[in-house]
């Protein structure tokens, strides 16, 4: 499921859609006005974004509004964290090695 | 496990590359030495709860390296090897890296390490990895979760031994 999120945000149009609706919820018409592509093309992108829970569709009266779902993006940011922590640990160990090398140099 | 967040990772969605960078309080000559001396690499490169041991370490342009990562009991977890394209002290190391024993061979990473002098006692290291596919790049990042698990399993062992 998380892989789908990455495929979803790899596409520049979908990233642009997310940036727009992150600012404010939008109707399909309002959204498609921002793009040169057809309303059908935009709605295909919306379908992908909805399927991986980056977008929620909310009915309000006769209109549908697209809402950005920040929880899913948070998952994307967290995806890097274990890998970053791995290198953080590695580099903290390196700090001790470097301190030792420097003090050896001073003794010589 | 407190994180002081000195290390920066940049991995854009849908790209085959990733960047790891960090500033060290040592001159480039010293940081470079740590990354090109097997005895020193063995002291810091192993993720928590593991050790690494080099059996090939010919750190010069056209050379090669190979190391094995083991758990706390000495069981081999994985081996990594590659050829060294360029060693320019104290500025740059360019090498390949491949994890051995994958179902399919050929998932090679091109890795460039840059050691940039910020001041006489400060160096910025940037590791630039270029993978053969986005899936390979994502798999490397997700391997970070595996090493997190290793540490958890070790703690679990300690708990079980105490029972």
Q: Does A4 touch chain B (CB under 8 A)?
A: no
pLDDT of residue B56: 97
pLDDT of residue B148: 56
DSSP β-bridge partners for residue A66: A26, A57
pLDDT of residue B92: 98
Q: Does A9 touch chain B (CB under 8 A)?
A: yes
Give the residue from chain A lying closest to B138, CA to CA. A3
ipTM above 0.90, yes or no: no
Whether residue B9 is predicted with pLDDT greater than 80 in this model: the reply is yes
Whether residue A4 is predicted with pLDDT greater than 90 in this model: the reply is no
Give the pLDDT band of residue B155 (cuts 50, 70, 90): low
pLDDT of residue B3: 42
What architecture is the B18-162 domain classified under in CATH? 2-Layer Sandwich (3.30)
**Cβ–Cβ gap A102/B24 under 8 Å:** no
Whether residue B153 is predicted with pLDDT greater than 70 in this model: the reply is no
pLDDT of residue B2: 40
pLDDT of residue B160: 52
pLDDT of residue A81: 81
Q: What is the full DSSP assignment across A70-87?
A: HHHHHHHHHHTHHHHHHH
Choosing among A6, A88, A108, which should be mutated to test the B contact, i.e. which has the most B CBs within 10 A?
A88
Q: Per the structure, how many domains does chain A have? A: 1
Angle at B136 between CA B134 and CA B140, to 5 degrees: 115
Q: Does A87 touch chain B (CB under 8 A)?
A: yes
Shortest distance between the Cα of A102 and any Cα of chain B, in A, equals 8
Choosing among A16, A19, A90, A95, which should be mutated to test the B contact, i.e. which has the most B CBs within 10 A?
A90
**Cβ–Cβ gap B47/A90 under 8 Å:** yes
Whether residue B151 is predicted with pLDDT greater than 70 in this model: the reply is no
pLDDT of residue B96: 98
Run of H or E including B57: strand B50-57
Q: What is the full DSSP assignment across B137-161?
A: HHHHHHHHHHHHHHHHHHHHHHHHH
Q: Which of A80, A84, A93 sits opposite B43 (nearest CB)?
A: A93
pLDDT of residue B25: 94
**Cβ–Cβ gap A82/B147 under 8 Å:** yes
Model pLDDT for residues B95-130, shown as the tens digit of each residue: 999 999 888 889 999 999 999 999 999 999 999 999
Omega of the bond prior to B90 within 30 degrees of 0, cis?
A: yes
Model pLDDT for residues A86-97, shown as the tens digit of each residue: 899 999 999 999
Give the residue from chain A lying closest to B41, CA to CA. A94
Give the residue from chain A lying closest to B51, CA to CA. A90
Q: Which of A87, A92, A101 sits opposite B30 (nearest CB)?
A: A101
Looking only at the bridges linking them, the beta strands covering A55-60 and B92-99 are unpaired
Residue A86 maps to which CATH number? 1.10.10.10
Model pLDDT for residues B15-63, shown as the tens digit of each residue: 999 999 999 999 999 999 999 999 999 999 988 778 999 999 999 999 9
Q: Which domain holds residue A98?
A: 2-107
């Amino acid at each position: 499921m998380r892989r789908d999120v990455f495929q979803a945000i790899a596409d520049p149009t979908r990233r642009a859609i997310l940036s727009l609706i992150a600012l404010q919820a939008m109707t399909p018409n309002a959204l498609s006005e921002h793009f040169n592509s057809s309303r059908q093309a935009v709605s295909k992108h919306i379908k992908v974004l909805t399927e991986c829970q980056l977008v929620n569709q909310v009915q309000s009266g006769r209109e549908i509004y697209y809402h950005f779902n920040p929880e899913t993006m948070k998952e994307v940011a967290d995806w890097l964290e274990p890998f970053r922590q791995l290198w953080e640990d590695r580099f903290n160990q390196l700090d001790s090695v470097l301190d030792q090398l420097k003090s050896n140099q001073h003794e010589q | 496990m407190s994180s002081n967040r000195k290390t920066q990772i940049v991995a854009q969605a849908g790209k085959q590359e990733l960047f790891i960078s960090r500033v060290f309080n040592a001159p480039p000559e010293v940081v470079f030495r740590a990354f090109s001396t097997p005895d020193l690499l063995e002291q810091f490169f192993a993720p928590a709860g593991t050790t690494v041991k080099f059996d090939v370490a010919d750190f010069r342009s056209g050379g090669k390296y190979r190391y094995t990562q083991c758990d706390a009991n000495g069981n081999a977890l994985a081996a990594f090897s590659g050829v060294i394209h360029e060693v320019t002290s104290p500025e740059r190391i360019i090498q390949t890296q491949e994890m051995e024993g994958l179902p399919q061979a050929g998932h090679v990473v091109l890795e460039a390490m840059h050691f940039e002098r910020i001041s006489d006692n400060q160096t910025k290291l940037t590791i630039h990895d270029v993978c053969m596919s986005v899936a390979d790049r994502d798999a490397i990042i997700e391997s970070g979760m595996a090493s997190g698990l290793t540490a958890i399993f070790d703690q679990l062992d300690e708990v079980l031994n105490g029972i």
